[in-house]
């Protein structure tokens, strides 16, 4: 898949802005925001309930990444990236957004 878009990978960081290795089986989701839009469009990602998710957001603008309902937040710097981890312990569809801009980045469908 091209550099832009949403990617599902295994591995990566264990907590917000850490270089530690994530637990085996962690579902990694990468989102790239630039030029006023989510590259590749907003995707809905299925997640197994109880699974660990690592959301990595890169952005050309500074903002707060906010995962609704779970109420997890992390600041992403302009031209940088930030990592937000969570355990998908609630069923439903939940969105992560750039909070100040009100821009949806990704939806997580937890089953």
Sheet hosting strand 72-76, strand order edge to edge: 43-47, 103-110, 92-98, 63-67, 72-76
pLDDT digits (tens, 9 = 90+) for 17-72: 333 445 668 999 999 999 999 999 999 999 999 999 999 999 999 999 999 999 99
**What would the DSSP string read from start to end of 75-92?**
EE-TTEEEEEEEE--S-E
Residues 75-101, mean pLDDT to the nearest whole number: 97
Q: Quote the CA–CA distance of 104 and 111 in Å, as a whole number.
A: 21
Compute the distance between CA of residue 1 and CA of residue 31 in angstroms, rounded to an integer: 13
Q: How does DSSP classify residue 11?
A: -
């Amino acid at each position: 898949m091209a550099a832009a878009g949403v990617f599902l990978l295994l591995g990566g960081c264990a907590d917000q802005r850490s270089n530690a290795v994530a637990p085996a089986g962690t579902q990694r989701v990468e989102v790239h925001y630039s030029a006023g839009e989510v590259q590749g469009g907003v995707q809905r990602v299925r997640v197994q309930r109880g699974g660990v998710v690592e959301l990595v957001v890169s952005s050309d603008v500074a903002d707060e990444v906010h995962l609704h309902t779970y109420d997890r937040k992390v600041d992403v710097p302009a031209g940088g990236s930030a990592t937000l981890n969570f355990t998908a312990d609630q069923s439903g569809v939940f969105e992560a957004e750039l909070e100040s801009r009100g821009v949806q980045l990704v939806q997580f469908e937890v089953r």
